[in-house]
Structure 1
Amino acid sequence: MVDYKYKIFTDSLEKNIREGVLKPGYKLPSVRVLKEQYQTSISTIQKGYEYLMLIGLVESVPKSGYFVAHQQQEPIEAPLKAYPVVRDAVFKQHLGLMSAQEEERNVSAFNVATPGDVFMPQQLILRTMQQVIREEGASLLRYYPASGSPVLKGRIITRATRHQTYIHEEALLLTDGALQALYIALAAVCEVGDVIAVESPCVFSVLEVIRMLRLKVVEVPIDLRTGFDIDFFKQACDKNNIKALVVTPNFNNPTGLSLSNEQKIALIALVHRYNVALIENDMYSDLYFQGERPSLIKRYDDSGLVLSYGSYAKTLAPGIRLGWLSAGKFMARAEQIKFALGSSVSPIYQETVSRILAGTAYDRHLRSFRLQLAKNAHFAMHLIADNFPTETTFVRPQGGYHLWVRMPDTTDMSAFYALCDQIGVKFTPGSIFSFSGAYDRFFRMIFADRFSKEKIEAIRLLGRAIR
């Protein structure tokens, strides 16, 4: 918390005014008197009086000085009539299943798909942000270009070229996070009632955007051995006028699986053949466990049909609300939709991320983060395998921070989640990863936080209870 210099005199004045020691209309000491009394600068005293005026305790009378403000008696009003607020109960429940809740501090939460506090590069982010504020000053309070900072866009493009993906600056938009980027992409490609294809299982937030845009959906299954079912997608294109495909090519949420380069090339051939826009999620590609960063599908596209989007919420911190969208041939429409949603992304986020990407600190953080995630993935798999029923299966993640677990057919899932609540363990139920309810026996476990003794013991206790 910032300790302002003027508090050396405002604290006592504020206390005396609030307690009635100094009455309304009482003339307060002049700026010069307080300057001499507290041996500080005139500007500090003036700022202190401005603060007291801002909170309504002091008023300034020109050529007379500062006085204790006359407190206006608040009129007593009849209580407002309360009207019922209509909420979508299903949406509220699903949101709670995948979000952090303030009242659940003591719960062993494995349901929030964000890095834990100890894995965020807090010092790097805060130090850079403070530097930005010092150096950029009031310019951060103005609008930035509607499509985003050219410098930051240039750095995003430079990073993309490292894995043979070429993004045109004219087709790149900065957005308020990845979900807004997805919304813009779908709205730019589709109209109400259009049919789109989506990988299944698919994260709830993506499904919610699809629902809000009132699109029809064909769910393309992800085989837990071979990955995204390309033949199923081809059949869907043969039978339907598919306008878009939404897919996470690298480390799908929740399965952690990726498309091979051969599958990516095959998908490009299909979207070209059927003239389908392909919208790919690039949020997890930097979080690979072995080898090199996997490529995007956009690498293989020369038609402009592929729209790629990503953000820094999964690699830096969830509070950094900054995403990007490479909109391809749909840029003109995407730019209009982005402007309608808000003309500019927060300048301080743009400048902070731009500076972090400029040096080597981001790559150093990623190396450390990937190593910890790989260790946590290994630990999570062993924790489940050693404590849950022997028929429990899971998908070995290749990157990201999701473990997709299937409970045995004999498990009563309602009783299982009741035990989770009783013990204080929170997973994300598989049912919310599809419109069909096909994954009722699955749950997603996030391993992007430290495994405390309490969390480990909670998993072991749960395992003993369900065996």
Structure 2
Amino acid sequence: MKSYKYEIFTTVIEEQIRSGILQKNDRLPSVREIRRKYTLSTSSVQSGFEHLMIKGLIKSSPRSGYFVLGTQNEDRGGIRKKTSPVARDELFMKNMMLTSKRISEVSSFNTAVPGDLLIPQKLILRTMQEVIREKGVALLRYYPSNGLELLRQHIARQMNAYGCELNPDELIITDGALQALTIALRSVTKAGDVVAIDSPCVFSVLEVITNLGLKVIEIPVDQKTGFDMAYFRKASAEHNICTLVITPNFHNPTGTVMSDQSKKELLEIAEERKICIIENDMYSDLYFGEERPRCIKSFDTKGLVMTYSSFSKTLAPGIRLGWLYAGNFYSKAERAKFVLGRSVSPVYQELVLKLLQSSSYQRHLRSFRKKLYGQEAQLSEALRKYFPEDSCFQRPEGGYSIWMRLPEKVDMGKFYQYCEKQQILFTPGETFSFSGKYSHYFRIIFAERITQESITLIKDVGEKVQKLLSGT
């Protein structure tokens, strides 16, 4: 490591501060005194004092000299005071780990984002370089609180092509989907209000609801029949539900899609009970069929639906850029957005705008869907082949998750112990509900590249389940 001439005196001062010989606000020897004592040049002494200031140990007072800024008991530079352990919520930390931890692309089936090999890295990085070159210093300034006007127009145009007419002036660009959901909920609820959610429901949505102090009614989503409309109708009649949070297309984790008829029926109930619907439309672009399913908002004539989405599910998890169509609730949503952050990353806004302006984004989506569909087919075939016959799962029509149920006789504790030992990551079903009722379910993500090694791991897990059933 390179050494500097000034260290001959700065190390002495550091040690004196650390040992308590020098106390806070003590005056240090002048530049002239240090220069004479250690036979240094004026510039070396000044560099030494600047080094101590950068470390946060001393301060400069004009015409008065240098003074000690902190003592051994203060956290300045490399001197740290003893701190108490940070209080953490154990359940929260456990769920965070279960839903986001990665070991490798081969064995991590738990993170619901595109894997490294499915991310269009060259497209993103090349476009980002173009944006930086073209926009320059402008990217360092605040952008409009509700987002770039041109970006909002392109998003609205894209949704209009899918049969959902959106007014770009009622769109808000957000720092990802979770912020969009938070803004939507803050616009129509207050602590203590009752909200309905589709269940099973992803941990991040449950955490937002908990953080806002809302009460919850879980509406079952069956893998075969989908959202339980009768249950919702009955619950809305018995409780003062103000909002429903729902993922109608390629529901995470079940992969189900609501029919257009069911979406219309849901709107009828919402209109009758004056319930706001907050619709998660993040996965709709990841369809495996011939066309994108319509969102609930496309059938909304009363302005009861807010819709949100994100580009992190289709481009890359690090692209924290989402949007919320607030519609009739725009005024409150705009204020809620401002409180959560003055502006969303200018780089990401310009990046996504540039992609939407060309055909590259749609080209990427076509390729991405094709790869996802192939991976889903491989994984579903392996699950069907290696897991017991009385295990249950439905092949999804889009998205990138499979919801698997194991037989009741399986000891799930031993199952997860085996998975942990083999370093295979699934998302346990208990993280998808406040009640923990999905104990024999787990979610499998196929957004990482499926290899022969991946299939071998699935085979090993399936064989372990067979052994647990037989008691061996």
User: Which residue of the partner structure matches residue 33 of structure 1?
Assistant: none
**Residue by residue, what CA displacement relative to the aligned partner does 1:256-313 show, whole Å, maximum 9, x if unpaired?**
0010000011111111111100000010000000110011100011221100000000
**Residue by residue, what CA displacement relative to the aligned partner does 1:191-245 show, whole Å, maximum 9, x if unpaired?**
1100111001111110111111111111110122111011111111110111000
User: Which residue of the partner structure matches residue 422 of structure 1?
Assistant: 421
Q: Does 1:70 align with 2:48?
A: yes
User: Conserved in 2, the CA contact under 8 Å of 1:24 and 1:70?
Assistant: no
Q: Equivalents in 2 of 1:82, 1:396: separation in Å?
A: 51
User: Conserved in 2, the CA contact under 8 Å of 1:280 and 1:306?
Assistant: yes
SS at match of 1:445: strand
Structure 1 position 97, deviation (Å) = 0.3
Q: 1:175 to 1:394 in 2, by over 3 A?
A: same
**Under a length normalisation based on structure 2, what TM-score does the superposition of the two structures give?**
0.84
Q: Equivalents in 2 of 1:421, 1:391: separation in Å?
A: 24
Equivalent residue letter for 2:101:
A
Q: Equivalents in 2 of 1:127, 1:236: separation in Å?
A: 51
Q: Equivalents in 2 of 1:83, 1:319: separation in Å?
A: 32
Q: 1:140 to 1:377 in 2, by over 3 A?
A: same
Q: Equivalents in 2 of 1:112, 1:451: separation in Å?
A: 14
**Under a length normalisation based on structure 1, what TM-score does the superposition of the two structures give?**
0.85
SS at match of 1:425: coil
Q: Does 1:97 align with 2:98?
A: yes
Q: 1:105 to 1:377 in 2, by over 3 A?
A: closer
User: Which residue of the partner structure matches residue 38 of structure 2?
Assistant: none
Q: RMSD over aligned Cα, in angstroms?
A: 2.0
User: Which residue of the partner structure matches residue 299 of structure 1?
Assistant: 298
Q: Equivalents in 2 of 1:370, 1:403: separation in Å?
A: 16
User: Which residue of the partner structure matches residue 55 of structure 1?
Assistant: none
User: Which residue of the partner structure matches residue 3 of structure 2?
Assistant: 19
User: Conserved in 2, the CA contact under 8 Å of 1:287 and 1:366?
Assistant: yes
**Residue by residue, what CA displacement relative to the aligned partner does 1:404-463 show, whole Å, maximum 9, x if unpaired?**
000011100111001101111110000111111121110000001111333222222222
User: Which residue of the partner structure matches residue 31 of structure 1?
Assistant: none
Q: Equivalents in 1 of 2:249, 2:197: separation in Å?
A: 15
Q: Which runs of 5+ in 2 are unaligned?
A: 10-41, 58-69, 74-79, 467-472
User: Which residue of the partner structure matches residue 310 of structure 1?
Assistant: 309
SS at match of 2:48: coil
SS at match of 2:290: coil
User: Conserved in 2, the CA contact under 8 Å of 1:98 and 1:112?
Assistant: yes
Q: Does 1:386 align with 2:385?
A: yes
User: Conserved in 2, the CA contact under 8 Å of 1:286 and 1:366?
Assistant: yes
SS at match of 1:393: coil
User: Which residue of the partner structure matches residue 139 of structure 1?
Assistant: 138
SS at match of 1:108: coil
Q: Equivalents in 1 of 2:185, 2:428: separation in Å?
A: 26
SS at match of 1:184: helix
Q: Does 1:116 align with 2:115?
A: yes
User: Which residue of the partner structure matches residue 150 of structure 1?
Assistant: 149
User: Which residue of the partner structure matches residue 245 of structure 1?
Assistant: 244
User: Which residue of the partner structure matches residue 191 of structure 1?
Assistant: 190
Q: Does 1:87 align with 2:71?
A: no
Structure 1 position 105, deviation (Å) = 4.2
User: Which residue of the partner structure matches residue 345 of structure 2?
Assistant: 346
Equivalent residue letter for 2:86:
V
User: Conserved in 1, the CA contact under 8 Å of 2:106 and 2:449?
Assistant: no
Q: Equivalents in 2 of 1:434, 1:23: separation in Å?
A: 59
Q: Does 1:210 align with 2:181?
A: no
Q: Equivalents in 2 of 1:345, 1:465: separation in Å?
A: 47
Q: 1:464 to 1:154 in 2, by over 3 A?
A: same
User: Which residue of the partner structure matches residue 408 of structure 1?
Assistant: 407
Q: 1:283 to 1:20 in 2, by over 3 A?
A: same
Equivalent residue letter for 2:449:
R
**1:332-371, aligned counterparts within 5 Å?**
332-371=331-370
Q: Does 1:270 align with 2:248?
A: no
**Residue by residue, what CA displacement relative to the aligned partner does 1:142-184 show, whole Å, maximum 9, x if unpaired?**
0011100001000000100111101112211000000000000
**Residue by residue, what CA displacement relative to the aligned partner does 1:378-415 show, whole Å, maximum 9, x if unpaired?**
11111111112221111210100001000011100111
